[in-house]
Structure formats: structure tokens, C-alpha cells
Structure 1
Amino acid sequence: MQFPESWLREFCNPPLSTEQLADVLTMGGFEVEEVRPVAPPFTQVVVGEIKQAEQHPNADRLRVCQVDVGQGALLSIVCGAPNARAGIKVPCALVGAELPPPDDEQGDGQPFKIKLGKLRGVESQGMLCSARELKLSEDHGGLLELPLETPVGQDVRQALKLDDAVFTLKLTPNLGHVLSVYGVARELSALTGAPLVTPSIPAVPVSTSAVLPVKISAPDLCGRFSGRIVQNVNTKAATPAWMVDRLARCGQRSVTALVDISNYVMFEYGRPTHIFDLDKIHGGLDVRWGRAGEQLKLLNGNTMTLDETVGVIADDVQVESLAGIMGGDATAVSDDTRNVYVEAAFWWPDAVAGRSRRFNFSTDAGHRFERGVDPDLTVSHIERITQLILDICGTPDTACGPVDDHKARMPAPKPVTLRVARAAKILGMPVTLAQCADVFGRLGLPFSEDAGALTVMPPAHRFDLCIEEDLIEEVARVVGYAQLPEALPLAPVKPRVLTESRRSAFAVRRLLADLGYLETINFSFVEEDWEQQLAGNADPVRLLNPIASQLSVMRSTLIGSLLQVIKRNLDRRADRVRVFEVGRVFRRDAGVATSDSSVRGVAQPMHVAAIAYGPADRQGWQGKQGPVDFHDVKGDVEALLSPLQPTFEPAGHPALHPGRSARVRLNGQVIGVVGELHPRWRQQWELPQAPVLFELDLDAVMQRHLPNAQAVPRHPSVERDIAVVVPEAVTHAQLMRSVHAAPTDGLLRGATLFDIYRPKAGAETAAGMSAQEKSLAVRLALGSPHETLTDERIDLAVNAVIERLQTDVGARLRA
């Protein structure tokens, strides 16, 4: 929101400097992003009238001008501007004037001083200026021509009102009622107590009964539609200089008189309106939702294909306007327009919000309507526009029709109650009922009192007042944020200390970094194909407003993000990549309730995942390394979970190779998977080798057992090797579970599998084994903290292990 300070002070003029005014607005909740002067400083530049302009005797492109600057005698000034001619009034810099520094590279930033000099032998007693030389605009095609009624000799700063400042406000989306100069003045009056000037808008006399038929077919799109016919206008009339200047200082260039009038009222009162060429409308107007396949060419030249979610204004033949956003080209006013139809409407914010962004453009009208525009003032604003049309474009034959006002469904504001005690608690400062009542009175909010509470009926222009906290915010900013006390917290501040049985996520990151992985951070929203292919998730959590069309769902696994990192690095000729990510995943879970850290129906656990691609180790003196395999990454998982001992069991996963993947269990609970990427996805991602990856639940990884100190054994341990024949289906985990479950009277300290033997085909009989059996060799470590073991006790312990193996897995000693 941009506007000149002088326009604001016409509505509200507190006794504050420009800097103080900016500070009051910022502290009142309207952040002043920038304050800049309309023009840079310059001196002794006055209005001059060229009385005579003759050709320079020694130069073809120069003229010698006789200029009246109100000093009695004419000044002789040499000028090279193509529009230097007798009868015009232009800025004239006198001898001794200081102009803004030039833009060329040789400029040193110092003011440019005008001196008495000669140009091609002719004395020049000053300088006639262009807009660029005064830094008023980039126009340097000729002298800046001033209105003919400007007094000769008047200071140009005074004549053009250049001692002004342009304010730029950075407004939050809830402040739609401040998107106008009058809206800012209304808030400034409440903040400072200065009187608010509300100009009266008298009704324009009606001189014709002509009315355009209008029908509102979609009350959920348009709540109120007002319009008026104005006949026989002069669309070729020039926009007054004062209106052009104000529009320019609001960041809006002048187009034509009718367009400028519509824009002026929008900046003045925040009401976007539209002016149709009446003779181009076929029949009447119908305010409705669009229909699939309809097309509309807009004023910006774009042709849009519409659907049922976009509001339109249509006539009996075609669509004429995009409701609340932009008018159509078919009914645009032009120099040939004679009769116009002025429209002002109230569009429901939800019916306009997001529509312009869908078509990849934005407009001032859409920006205001999607935040809410006062529905009560459509008729008053049409009267204001009509008066400006009569003043600027009127002719002796101009006739105005009556205002045709249709109310389909007006907003029904709901009362909001403020409890004074609640406001004091939220703000942390004492506020009284009288203070709150004074704030609401200054803001123009009607209210009633009832036992320590105030009930406010929000006016039509305040779409942001819905709950009690909105009213508390109004009290805080009007009373003044500077009045809030600086109080220390009453409760003692205690740092949160993690229990020793859990390690931090940062410790997990450091451990993975120690294992050779690099951390990556990726978006939590991914492609829907990743969820279906890599996670088998047919119903992912979808985004209502994705930042990119392909990133449309929330991830339930980190695998896709890591594969993308692998692919990106391989495309840049990296041959060995090891990366990990600690991040949140999202999956539907009807058992999750809404809380301060959760959303109903969506589980959001933290996962840790890593992926390894390329050689197992970096190349060293031992030569080139083999590719990373399942066992390398399985070892990393064991190192990550150490000293806890995970178990691994074959399992299927949509993203992993069916024969080279496993489910990871810890304390009997499944905490993740580890394995090689499925060949199908390896081919789809165009990976020369198969990466190996794992994904685990972060909470499980953060668990750890507290160390339990034990005395160093005083007696030596002994080792015994046994080889047992077991069925081929027996796994290492089953074998070790049985060994440790044997009743050895606490003598078994450890067991290690050190050999697997399978006889060659045809040699099973000689080995005493069948083709469906294998031999497993286990080394048992035995010892006692109290005594040296005897052969008898050792044999008893070994036999206990063998008997347990026979019972659990059907093992027998190998002959």
C-alpha cells in the first residue's frame, strides 16, 4: 500500500512530523516499510514562461529562449530541448541553483550548480529543466511542461507540491480495511486522537430513467451489485494534473480519464469498481459462476478458459468480466465510447481468494476483494465516481441514470465479546473497562457493556474481528505497545535435561557422520509417484496449495528424498555417495487426536534414514574397493544402535530387493528396514549400481542402556568349539538365541559363529549330511568370576548348550 503523505493529511492531520507519523503507524500495527521524498532536494528552481524561442546562430539544435521568471527583465537561456517553444511554462533553474547530482558515472554525488556561462558564443542566464534533471521521473525527451495557470516566478517545489513524502505500508492479510488512504486516516485518527475528516458525498441529480437490467444468479459469489448508466461522456478528456500526480505517487500510471477516475476512488476509499462501455453490452448483465469451457479475453490481453469455480459478469451473449478481479476486453472503454455503465459490487472474499493466482497474475481489485471490502458503501462510491466523471468528462448533454442497487445476501456480522479480565491476563498489564470502551469508541466500533465485558458488533468494513483475541489486539495497539510493562517471568526457568537413557538427535547425527555419511535436508512434500512406488502408500496426505505441481503430497518415507540426492550427485559424476537425513514423515492414522503438537488423523513420527552408493571404502593402497553391499550397511545399523543388539529377519518392502532386505527388530519391536534398492526402481532412476539403504524410527534409535559396571574377571576364561548340523532353514538369530538360552549356570560369557559348511553336491553321504542341512561352527567363551573352571563344569556347560540346540532347532553334533 503506497500513498502520499499530503493526501493522508487531508483526511487526518495530527501535529506530528513525517518521522513521528511513520512511527505511530508502525507501532499501531501498520508497518511503514519505506518513507521517501517525492523529489530530491534542489533550490532556486522557479516557474518560467518562454516568451520567445529563436534559432541559435551557431548551432542547429539549440534555441535561444527569452524566459519570464517574474523578475521584470527577461532571462536569455540557451536550450536544446525539442519542445522549447514560446507560450509554455517550464521549470527554470536560476544562476546559483543547485540541482540533484547527475546519473552519469563521472558524477561524484555532489549537487549540480548552475552558473552564468556561454554556449556557442551566446550567454545563458540559467537552465530550463526536464523531469529527469529534477529527478521527478525518467522522462528526458524534453522540458517538463507545467499547467498554463501556474503563476510565473513561483517556486517549482510549491507549484508541484514536491515537499511531500510517499509512505509504503507492509500490511498483513487481515488488514483489508486499511487498503485505502481514507482507511489509513481512520486508523491514524484512532491512534492519535486527531479529528477524522469524512467528506460528504452528495447524490448526483438524475436526468434520465435509463437502467441496465441486472440479475444476481449466485448470491454466494456476489452479495450486492450496484450500477448506474451515464450517457454522453467525453472519454477523450484529459485527466487533471492533480489526479495524475496522486495516482503516480500511489504507484499507478495514468491511462485514460475514466480508468484514472476508477483507480482514484479505489485508492481513496478502497473500493475497486469497473466502468463498462454500455453500447457493447448485449442485453442485461448476469452475475453468476462461470461455466466449463467459457473463454474471456481480459484487459491485459490474456485469454482465459473458465470453469465453475470462477465468478463472472456475463451479458446475454458472452462473459464480460472476471468477478472482482479484472474486466474484459470486449466492453472496455475507448476514445469512441459515449455511454458508460459504472459498477460497484460486494464480492464475497472466499469467492475471489486465489482465483487470480490460478491464472498467474494479480490485480489491485482482487487483492482488496479477497480481504474484504465494505458492502455498505457501494452506492456512495458510485455517487463519488459519477461526480468525478461529470467534473472531468462531462458535456452539456451528459445524463445520469438512477443507481440500480441489488442486495442478494449481505454479510451478517456476529457480536464478539471482550472480557476485560481476560484482556488484562493476555496482555500482561492492567486494563480497565473504561480504557477498552475508549479504544472501541475511537475505532468506531459499536459496543455494549455487561458485567465487566464489552460486546462489540463489528462494522461492515471490519472483516478481521471474529474472536475475542481480535478485540484484545485492538486494545493493545491503540493503548500502545510501548505501554506494555517489562516484567520478568514469575516461574523459574529450568533447562530441559534429557534422561540418560536417551541420547539426542544431534548425537545420532554425529554418529552417522562418524560412519562416513553426510547429512542432507529435503522438502517434506514429494511426488505422489514416490509414495505409491517406494512406500506402497495409496492414500498419502495431500497438500491443498503445493509450491509446485509435482510436490503434491507429504512424504511417509525418507527413501525418495535420499534417492533424489543420489541421482543428483551421480549426474554430476560423483562415484561414491553416502548421505543420511533425520526428518519427519506423515501418514494417515485415525487414532491421532489434535493437540499442541499433532493434527487429528495424521501421525508425524521422526525417522532417520541413510543410503550408500558406490565403493564400500575410499580407494587406498590396497587398490580399488568392491561395491557396498547389504552387510556393509547392516553393520552401520548395528553400530548406530550399539550397545543394543538388533535382530534382522527377512521381510518384503516396496522399495527394496525381495531377497536382499530385512526387517530390523529391537527389543521385540519392528523399528525399520534395511536392504538393497529394488531392481525395478534402480532401472527407473537410471542407477548403474544398486544403492543400499536403511530407514529406522528415530525414537528407537535414541534409546540406550545405562552402563552397568562390573569387576574385571580375576580368573581366565576358556573357549570350546562345537560344530552342529542343522536344517538349512535355521537362521543365525535362532541359533544364537538357543545358545544363550541354555542353562549353563552363568558360565557362558559369549558365543560367536565362525564357520558355515555345506558339502558339495554328491558328497553329502561322506559328510554325514543331507542336501537340506548345513554345519555351523560356534565358539563358546566360558568363565566364572569366582573360581577357575574344571573340565567337569566346562563339559556340563557345553552339553547344556548342545541339548538346548537339539531341542530348539533340531541340531546334532557333526561327526
Structure 2
Amino acid sequence: MQFPESWLREYCNPPLSTQALADLLTMSGMEVEELRPVAPPFSGVVVGAVLAVEPHPNADRLRVCQVDVGAAAPLRIVCGAPNARAGIKVPCARVGAKLPGEGGDDAPPFEIRLGRLRGVDSEGMLCSARELRLSEDHGGLLELAAEAPVGTDVRDWLRLDDTLFTLKLTPNLGHALSVQGIAREVSALTGTPLTLPATAPVAPGHDDRLPVRVEAPDLCGRFSGRIVRGVNPQARTPDWMVERLARCGQRPVSPLVDISNYVMFETGQPSHIFDLARIHGGLSVRWGRDGETLKLLNGQTITVDGQVGVIADERAVESLAGIMGGDATAVGDATRDIYIEAAFWWPAAVAGRSRRYAFSTDAGHRFERGVDAARTVAVIERITALVQAICGGSAGPVDDQVLALPARPPVRLRVDRAAKVIGMPVDAAACRGVMERLGFPVTEATVDGAAVLEVTPPSWRFDLAIEEDLIEEVVRVLGYDRLPDTPPRAALQPRVRSERRRGVHALRQAVAERGYVETINYSFVEARWEQELAGNPDPIRVLNPIASPLSVMRSSLVGSLVQVLRSNLARKAPRVRVFEIGRVFLRDASVADGPVEVAGLRQPLRLGGLAYGSAVAEQWGERARPVDFHDVKGDVEALFGPRAVRFVAAEHPALHPGRCARIERDGQPVGVIGELHPRWRQAYELPAAPILFELALPALLEGELPAFVPLPRQQSIRRDLALVVPDGIGHDRLVDTARAAPTPLLREVRLFDVYKPAAAGGDLAPGERSMALHLTLRDDEGTPTDERIEAAVAEVLDHLRAQLGVRLRG
């Protein structure tokens, strides 16, 4: 919300400096984001009247002007502006004037001196808006109003000694989206009287009415309108109105549109003016219908549906309710009769609708936060009075349909509770005084010996619903600076986390100790990543993405990590180790709504990592080699330690089909690891393939408690078996089968050698290989004999033969 300070002080003028006023607004919850002067400092510039213009004798593009600045004699000024002509009034910088320097606010001022241009003396300078730093317009001289008094200081005439306030308002402060709303707040905060312009009802000059039927009370709670005939749309918008609109950041368009915008900034109530001749029959206020189209004032053609409110006539949709009017009924130079509309649109019926069509409007911004439903008729009267004063016309009676207004149930404020929450003593009189200064109807009672105020929220405050809202009003009006520096006191009950679980911070530390750097990425990603790297053809789409590429919610961390790698490679990073802990978003019909759940959507936490470049940082003690699957596999095993995990050959849309594994713990999948698929390495323009992993975070946080095991009293005995194994039998299957052998002496089985000759021959047939197992045997009750040891080895071998068809090599 941007507005000039002078407009605010017209309604409420407290004895505060500009900076003190800004501090007051900020401390009351309406943050002043920027204070900016309307114009930079300059002096010596007055209103000058151009009396005569003659060609320069020595230059085709220059002219010699005689300018009256209220002095004894006119000034002779050489000027090259194309619009310099007799009869206009322009800013004239006399000799000695100081103009803003080029190069910004810190540039030194430029002083006007007596000059000589092509042999002709010039006694000053006629100025453009750009030379005074009022705008970027440099197409000619800044033409002033004909009634501007000659010789008057331009700063006084244009009211340039003013400051622009820019407020950064939170969504609950819809009542502060107008100059009058802010003035009401300043009056309550300072006790300065509030002076609002009185608007008397306009006497009707005819009885014409436009039939309006409101079919959707859940869309529109109140609809007011009036016909005004015989207006002049080509009248000139007054300078004071153009100035105020410009200082609110609004470009002037035409007098009728300017009046509507002016009243919106003044009162906070958006309105719309239709060209009556372009309305066919009457108007209906309803929800849209599938397939209906509307060309808006911004030139965009949209298609509406049953979730969007519209105003339609007998032929077509003419306006997007509460957001923007349609091009078909827009006022123009040929308009003679108009229909002025001001309505109360329910915030829930407007919120988010404009974002569906990728634009936003000042009207929609206000309606979705809540607009005073009690002022629609007063706004119509105000607009009508301004239309008649500027464009003329004869007004008809006001039609006002009240269907359903917001309920404003009273809210109870316990004074003792307010004092406890605020943290300083307050009494009923102080609380009641705050409510009365804010204009809230209030009654006081005593309940169980304690003072209780019953406050009825006014029609312009949509943010007051519970007791805490009123407590906030009390403390912000009394002043946050009055709060004592009291340390908080609270009963803390520590909760002991199970020793089986480790914290996320400890996990981050463990990953960082492996050489990885944490990254934080958006949860919304490119749709391409989901299709290619996650195999997700139907991702969850974002209705209002912050950027067009970030249009879907991610179901995997792989795409984000690959993008981080690309960013690092673009900055010439030779070795990259990154990880991220974040949520992914998956469709799941079994999920119901809950405190942190959304129905149909599962949001698990995962840890993803990526390794690229050399296995170790460049050094003299070890030869550089690219990182491979087994390097990162070791990192993953360390993160899960001391619990063991298994790596099972698998496939993943993003990973190399022969260099990818599913990670399992206790038979349950907990993640995936592998090398990026060559297709995606080429598609994403990577010099080499990175190794990636993605793990379920809960599985990483679960651990095991250490259990005491006595040291064995007997020594372990080692036996090795070299087995001929078919190629289709993998390491896990062989080891698990050996461990299942029915012998009580077997303690551990470990693979320590794999051999496959380059060419067939010897005791290995085609399709076979040699796999050597290390068996650890021990008898905890006594030293086993050689016979028992050999029998145990034989039992393992027999079990392997029976289950897998292996044989002893040699």
C-alpha cells in the first residue's frame, strides 16, 4: 500500500514528524517498508508563462522564448524542447537555481548560470519532468495547469514537499488498504481527531434503474448500483486527482476510471463503472458456467467455470466478480450513460481466483481480505458526486440489495487474561479506552469478580474473532515500547528421546563427516525431472507456481541433486559431494486429513546424496581415480551402521540398469543407490556420471541398543571353502544359504574371493565361477575336536550342494 503523507494528514494530522509517524505505524503492526520523497531537492524553479517564441538566428533546432516569471521584465531563454510555444506555463529555473544532479540521489546539484547558446544569451532554463526528476518523461517541457500563478515556486504549486509511504501489510490488515483506514488507525494510536469528508446523498434527477438479480448469495452479500446519464467521458481529470493517483502508484486512464480508482484508494472499497449502452437487458450476479469466456480490460481472454463468480447480462459474461471488468462494457470516449456498481463479495469467493489466470488486481487484493460491507451505498454516493463534479450527468436512485452480510458476533475480553498475556498490568479502563478509540462498540461487566469486556467487531474489521485478537489491539495501541523487559517464565517438561533413535542433526553431522555438503532446494521442480528422473508421469501440480519451470511437487530428491551438480559444474567445481534432507510428495489415497497431513498425499522425509569427480581430494599420496559405486556404497553402509543393510540388484528410472541396487534392511526396502543413467548424463550435459543415493529418513534414524555379549572363552577356528558356483547365484544368496546350514559350530560366513577365468578350461565349465568362503567355527562349551570341525564343514558343504547345486573346487 503506497500513499502520500499529505493525503493521510488531510484526514488525521498528529503532531509528529514524518519519521516519527512512520515509526508509529511500524510499531502498531503496519510496517513502513519505504519512505521516499516525492521529488529530490531543488530550488529556484518557478512557474513561468511563455509569452512568445522565435526561431534562433543561428540554430535550426533552438528557439528563443520570452518567459514571464513575475519579474519586472520577461526573461530571454533559449530552449530546444519540441513543445515550446506561446501560451503555456512551464517550470522555469532562473539564474542561480539548483537542479537535481545526474547520477542518483547522491549526485551534487546542478546550478543554472547565465549562458550563451549560439550567440544568444539565455537567462535561465525551461524544464522537463525528467530534469526535475519527477518522472522519466523527457519528450518536452513539463506543462503546468493554466491556472498556475506566474512566479509561484513550483515545489509549492505541485506540492512536492511530500513523502511517499509504502506499507508492507500482513493479510489480516485489509482495513489498512485505504488512506482513510490508515487515518483511522493513526487517530486511534495518537488520539488526534479523525476528519473524514462528508458525502451528502446526490439528489436523483430521474427514476431509471437497471434490473439486477443476485443469484448467488454465497458469492455476493450486498450489491449496490446507480445509473448516471449524460456524462462527458472526455472531461479532464483534475490535477489534484491525477497527482494523488500517481503518488499511490496508479497511472491515470480516463476521468471515469480515475474516479473509481481514486475512491478505492480513499475508502478501500473497489467499484466498477459500466457503459450502460453496452449492457443487454439486466445484470445477473452468479457463479460462472463451464465454457463461458470473457475478454478482460487487460486484453486477456479467459474461460470461467463454476468456481469463479461473474456478472453477466442477457447475452454474455461482462465482468469477473470482485476482480476485473470486461472489455465489452468498458467506458470509452463514446460513453454517455454509465452504471456505477459497488458490492460486497465474500472473501472466500474471490481468494485465489485471479491467480488462476496469472494476474492480480487491486480490487481482488482487497476483496479477498475483506471489504466493509456497510459502505457500498456511501461509496456510490461519493463516486456519483465526483462524476457530476468532473463529467457532469444526472443521477438516478441507488438500488441496494442486501442478501447476507458477515456475522459479527461479540468477542469477550477478560482484563486479567489480557494483563497476563501482555506481561504488564492493564485495567478495564485502559482496555475499554483502546476499544473506544478504535471505534469498537464495547460493554463492560463483572463475571466472578473479574472485569470482562464484550466487544462487537465493526464491519470493517475481518480479523477480530477471538480474545487474543482483542489483546493484540490493546497492546499495539498502548504501545509495544511500554512493555517491560520481563524474562519469560514457563514450566518445561523435558522429553527423553529413545536411545534407539538419533536426531536429524546427528545424522547431518554423520553425512558431513563423510565429505558431503548439505544443500536446500525447492520442493517444487521442473515437470521434466519428475518424468525422466523419477518415472512419475502424473506429478502433483502447483496451481500458482512462483516460476513457470517450478510447476510440480517432487516425488524424488534426485532431480534437485542433479541440478545442484550442474550448478557447481557451471562454476568449474571439479569434485562435488552434496546431500539434502527434505520431503517428497506422493499420491496416496490411504492418507486422511490430519494436523500435519493432507488427504490423498503422503509426504515422507528422505535423505539424498550425490558424489561426482575423484574418489578422494587431490593429493600427493594417492593416485586420482573417479568415484564409483562401491565408494558411495561404503558411505551408505556407514550411515546405517552398526545395523547391516543389503544391496540387491534393481532398476530405477534415473539410474544405470547394471549399476543400481535397492537397499534393504530386515527385508524391507529403505532406499536406492546407483550410477546416473547414460541417457540422462548426456541429456543433462554432464561430463561424467555421478553416483546417487536416496534413503528413507526414518530408517536412518532408527538404531539398535548395544547389548552385552561375553567374550568367548574358546578360540575360533577358520576353514576356507573354494566352491564352483553357477553364474546365476549371487553373493547374498550363497552366504545366506551357508549360514543356514544345520551345524551349531558355525558362527560367521564371509566371501573373500571370486575367480572366473578369461577362457573356459580347467575345473570351471562355461557359466561357472569360483567363490571362496571363509567359515568361522567355535564351540563355546569346549575345544572342538578335528572330527567335529570336519563334520561341521561337511554339513555346510552338503547344505550348499542340496540347496544351490554347488560343488567343491578341485
Q: TM-score, normalised by structure 2?
A: 0.83
Task: Please give the alpha-carbon distance, in whole angstroms, between the structure 1 residues aligned to 2:690 and 2:163.
Answer: 63
Task: Tell me the residue number matched to 1:89.
Answer: 89
SS of 2:260's partner is helix
| Stretch deviating more after TM superposition (263-272 or 798-807) | 798-807
Task: Tell me the residue number matched to 1:147.
Answer: 145
- Which of the residues 308, 333, 336 maps onto 1:335? 333
| Stretch deviating more after TM superposition (303-312 or 273-282) | 303-312
Q: Cα offset for 1:87?
A: 3.9
Task: Please give the alpha-carbon distance, in whole angstroms, between the structure 2 residues aligned to 1:611 and 1:117.
Answer: 70
Amino acid at match of 1:110: P
Task: Please give the alpha-carbon distance, in whole angstroms, between the structure 2 residues aligned to 1:686 and 1:334.
Answer: 53
Contact kept? 2:534, 2:556, Cα under 8 Å: yes
Task: Tell me the residue number matched to 2:17.
Answer: 17
Cα 1:760/1:220, change in 2 over 3 Å: same
SS of 1:719's partner is strand
Contact kept? 2:713, 2:780, Cα under 8 Å: yes
Contact kept? 2:98, 2:110, Cα under 8 Å: yes
Cα offsets for 1:656-689 (capped at 9, x unmatched): 89998765444x3625144668999979979999
Give structure 2 stretches of 5+ with no counterpart.
none
User: Are 1:734 and 2:736 matched, yes or no?
Assistant: yes
Cα 1:482/1:63, change in 2 over 3 Å: same
User: Are 1:399 and 2:394 matched, yes or no?
Assistant: yes
Task: Tell me the residue number matched to 1:454.
Answer: 453
Task: Please give the alpha-carbon distance, in whole angstroms, between the structure 2 residues aligned to 1:538 and 1:780.
Answer: 49
Cα 1:346/1:568, change in 2 over 3 Å: same
Task: Please give the alpha-carbon distance, in whole angstroms, between the structure 2 residues aligned to 1:591 and 1:390.
Answer: 60
Amino acid at match of 2:152: Q
SS of 1:203's partner is coil
After TM superposition, the structure 1 = structure 2 runs for residues 224-239 of structure 1, keeping only pairs within 5 Å, are 224-239=222-237
Q: Cα offset for 1:410?
A: 2.2
Q: Cα offset for 1:492?
A: 9.4
Task: Tell me the residue number matched to 1:279.
Answer: 277
Task: Tell me the residue number matched to 2:383.
Answer: 385
Contact kept? 2:233, 2:255, Cα under 8 Å: yes
Task: Please give the alpha-carbon distance, in whole angstroms, between the structure 2 residues aligned to 1:254 and 1:660.
Answer: 65
Task: Please give the alpha-carbon distance, in whole angstroms, between the structure 2 residues aligned to 1:117 and 1:681.
Answer: 73
Task: Please give the alpha-carbon distance, in whole angstroms, between the structure 2 residues aligned to 1:687 and 1:59.
Answer: 61
Q: CA RMSD in A?
A: 4.8
Contact kept? 2:739, 2:748, Cα under 8 Å: no
| Stretch deviating more after TM superposition (651-660 or 133-142) | 651-660
Cα 1:103/1:584, change in 2 over 3 Å: closer
- Which of the residues 418, 424, 427 maps onto 1:429? 424
- Which of the residues 404, 412, 417 maps onto 2:407? 412
Q: Cα offset for 1:245?
A: 1.5
Q: Cα offset for 1:25?
A: 0.9
Task: Please give the alpha-carbon distance, in whole angstroms, between the structure 2 residues aligned to 1:170 and 1:270.
Answer: 16
Cα 1:624/1:18, change in 2 over 3 Å: closer
Task: Tell me the residue number matched to 2:46.
Answer: 46
Q: Identical aligned pairs, as a percentage?
A: 59
Task: Please give the alpha-carbon distance, in whole angstroms, between the structure 2 residues aligned to 1:436 and 1:732.
Answer: 80
After TM superposition, the structure 1 = structure 2 runs for residues 462-611 of structure 1, keeping only pairs within 5 Å, are 462-490=461-489, 505=504, 508=507, 521-525=520-524, 545-547=544-546, 554-559=553-558, 561=560, 580-587=579-586, 588=588, 594-595=594-595, 604-610=603-609
- Which of the residues 209, 212, 221 maps onto 1:211? 209
Give structure 1 stretches of 5+ with no counterpart.
none
Cα 1:266/1:574, change in 2 over 3 Å: closer
Cα 1:794/1:12, change in 2 over 3 Å: farther
Cα offsets for 1:632-672 (capped at 9, x unmatched): 66555434433333345678888889998765444x36251
Task: Tell me the residue number matched to 2:744.
Answer: 743
Task: Please give the alpha-carbon distance, in whole angstroms, between the structure 2 residues aligned to 1:444 and 1:763.
Answer: 101
Task: Please give the alpha-carbon distance, in whole angstroms, between the structure 2 residues aligned to 1:235 and 1:304.
Answer: 28
| Stretch deviating more after TM superposition (502-511 or 331-340) | 502-511
- Which of the residues 224, 240, 243 maps onto 1:242? 240
Contact kept? 1:673, 1:695, Cα under 8 Å: yes
After TM superposition, the structure 1 = structure 2 runs for residues 777-792 of structure 1, keeping only pairs within 5 Å, are 777-781=772-776
Contact kept? 2:355, 2:544, Cα under 8 Å: no
After TM superposition, the structure 1 = structure 2 runs for residues 191-206 of structure 1, keeping only pairs within 5 Å, are 191-206=189-204
Task: Please give the alpha-carbon distance, in whole angstroms, between the structure 2 residues aligned to 1:555 and 1:247.
Answer: 44
Cα 1:12/1:711, change in 2 over 3 Å: same
Contact kept? 1:676, 1:690, Cα under 8 Å: no
After TM superposition, the structure 1 = structure 2 runs for residues 293-308 of structure 1, keeping only pairs within 5 Å, are 293-308=291-306
SS of 1:437's partner is helix
Contact kept? 1:634, 1:674, Cα under 8 Å: no
Cα 1:342/1:502, change in 2 over 3 Å: closer
Q: Cα offset for 1:794?
A: 5.6
- Which of the residues 176, 179, 182 maps onto 1:181? 179
SS of 1:308's partner is coil
Q: Cα offset for 1:421?
A: 3.5
Task: Please give the alpha-carbon distance, in whole angstroms, between the structure 2 residues aligned to 1:429 and 1:12.
Answer: 30
Cα 1:76/1:753, change in 2 over 3 Å: closer
Cα 1:626/1:120, change in 2 over 3 Å: closer
Q: Cα offset for 1:717?
A: 6.3
Amino acid at match of 2:394: A
Contact kept? 2:95, 2:123, Cα under 8 Å: yes
Task: Please give the alpha-carbon distance, in whole angstroms, between the structure 2 residues aligned to 1:795 and 1:417.
Answer: 90
Task: Please give the alpha-carbon distance, in whole angstroms, between the structure 1 residues aligned to 2:277 and 2:493.
Answer: 75
Amino acid at match of 2:207: S
Amino acid at match of 2:131: E
Cα offsets for 1:42-93 (capped at 9, x unmatched): 2233333344444555555544444443344444444444444444433333
After TM superposition, the structure 1 = structure 2 runs for residues 675-714 of structure 1, keeping only pairs within 5 Å, are 694-702=693-701
SS of 2:460's partner is coil
After TM superposition, the structure 1 = structure 2 runs for residues 246-265 of structure 1, keeping only pairs within 5 Å, are 246-265=244-263
Task: Tell me the residue number matched to 2:373.
Answer: 375
Amino acid at match of 2:141: L
Cα 1:26/1:638, change in 2 over 3 Å: closer
Task: Please give the alpha-carbon distance, in whole angstroms, between the structure 2 residues aligned to 1:324 and 1:191.
Answer: 31
Amino acid at match of 2:456: M
Cα 1:456/1:124, change in 2 over 3 Å: same
Q: Cα offset for 1:16?
A: 0.7
Q: Cα offset for 1:345?
A: 1.5
Contact kept? 1:782, 1:794, Cα under 8 Å: no
Contact kept? 1:247, 1:254, Cα under 8 Å: yes
Cα offsets for 1:486-515 (capped at 9, x unmatched): 222446999999887665546655655666
Q: TM-score, normalised by structure 1?
A: 0.82
